[in-house]
Structure 1
Amino acid sequence: MELNRRAGHQGTGPGVITPDGCAVELYSRLPVGAEPDIVAGAVSPGAHILELGCGVGRVTHPLLERGFTVTAVDESQEMLDRIRGARAVRSAIEDLDLGETFDVVMLASFLVHAGEVEVRRALLRACVRHLAAGGCVLIQREGEDWHTNVPRERVDPSGLTMRIVSAEPTGDGANSVHAEYEFPDATWTQTFVSRPLTKEQFEGALAEVGLQVDTYLTEDGTWARSSLAA
């Protein structure tokens, strides 16, 4: 299955670059962060999680260590080749139809901010399509100032310097975002299209596909747990 580069997305640096501009080697180096703890605190122990856009398993593997069962989905085979211990499925999220449902569906990595509105709707419909009765969808969203607080830089103890260099309007409500990831021995860049969403716009996007926010899991509102609307 050959996948074309997504419009407005590109990346540079050592190794394979995926259709959305992500670098496989870079994501293999990124630190885990708080995501596994956020997920574990929001769902039942041992839940079966459908992780959409799993990448190399940066979150997948810590979830497995916490006792969850994970079905990991990504459109890049090179990303999936790094997954260990989880069922791995190669597919674009928009097209995914496994014919089964899950306790938890996870849409992380700011995917809900897809630049094209119809792509965002397709991503959220895939979440609903695979959600078991009584289950929940966990969604990671951008911070309120994510597109305006630029340029900005963060240095991680791992040795990574991450920069959001610019966020330039594309003319239709989305922004072309340019990011740099610098380690002492290698540098990667990624350019991608992201659509800012206020809290109200985010909740409205969920309502379009029959979801509602149950609670925000973090003080900054960047993680939300949602379920099928009554």
Structure 2
Amino acid sequence: MGGLTREGHQGTGPGAITPDGCAVELYRRLPAGAEPDIIEAAAPAGASLLELGSGTGRMTHPLVERGFAVTAVDESAEMLEHVRGARRTVRSPIESLELGEKFDVVVLASHLVHTGDDRVREGLLRTCRRHVKDDGCVLIQREPRDAHTGLPKERVDPAGYTVRFVSSEPLGDGTHSLHIEYAFPDARWTQTFRSRPLSTEDFEAHLWAAGLAVDAYLTDEGTCVRARPSVPGAVASGGNGG
């Protein structure tokens, strides 16, 4: 996402950089990975789907190809310019989104639930609850357990680029400043952002406070989660978190 400046977020590299440090051209190049397959297996076929933080459509496009009716939301107009095939695109901060519509599935990917700002996290999860049908589900992506340990380390992606997890610096308030590099044969980008590690207990407590409850952990490492409304008919409220 992009739009509102996020404290402690920055990025470098060719092309437009959104105020929260995301490089548009980098996100155009990144592959979707396994997430669309996980979503397809966890959601009803042909479901209406609200994708929060769509970026350039990295997951939007394969989800549309799989028959989902996707509404793509992002703060960055530069990101949304590259989204194709969505039922609708909406430029908005996630935590203040008010579409007046409910969806079969709401997706909150890209580890957004680990934002360093607790108020923003509350707003993100309330947006999820506000926009999901009572019999629908929310699919959330969490950080891997080792996201902040054993650094520096790197991973060579089959698509031909290298991701280097350079450092995770504790900031003294429970958050970390993560610095990541993406090296392609012809270009290099960096991204620095704030992240708050969440234990399983903390994660589930945040969901419960927003009116959601874990239904299933969809991957062995627990990084993809399906949640459902904990109180049918309830609408999470209490501000936009930002």
Q: TM-score range by the shorter chain?
A: over 0.9
Secondary structure of 1:41's aligned partner: helix
Distance 2:50 2:58 in 1: 15
Aligned to 2:118: 117
Aligned to 1:81: 81
Deviations 1:143-167 (A, max 9, x none): 1111113111000122210011000
Deviation at 1:227, TM superposition (A): 0.6
Per the normalisation by structure 2, the TM-score is 0.93
Alignment partner of 1:36 is 2:63: no
Aligned to 2:17: 17
Distance 1:122 1:35 in 2: 23
Q: What is the letter of the counterpart of residue 195 of structure 2? A: S
Contact 2:21 2:193 survives alignment (8 Å): yes
Distance 1:177 1:64 in 2: 32
Distance 1:48 1:104 in 2: 6
Q: Describe how 1:87-102 pairs up with structure 2 within 5 A.
A: 87-102=88-103
Unpaired stretches in structure 1, ≥5 consecutive residues: none
Q: What is the letter of the counterpart of residue 222 of structure 1? A: T
Distance 1:13 1:24 in 2: 10
Deviations 1:53-107 (A, max 9, x none): 0000010000000011000000000000000110110000011000110000000
Aligned to 2:237: none
Aligned to 1:7: 7
Alignment partner of 1:153 is 2:130: no
Distance 2:171 2:110 in 1: 21
Report sequence identity in percent. 64
Secondary structure of 2:42's aligned partner: coil
Distance 2:49 2:37 in 1: 14
Distance 1:73 1:3 in 2: 12
Distance 1:144 1:156 in 2: 20
Aligned to 1:203: 204
Aligned to 1:227: 228
Aligned to 1:53: 53
Q: What is the letter of the counterpart of residue 193 of structure 1? A: R
Aligned residues between the structures: 229
4+ runs of 1 displaced by more than 4 Å?
A: none
Distance 1:92 1:110 in 2: 16
Contact 2:4 2:20 survives alignment (8 Å): no
Contact 2:52 2:73 survives alignment (8 Å): yes
Unpaired stretches in structure 2, ≥5 consecutive residues: 232-242
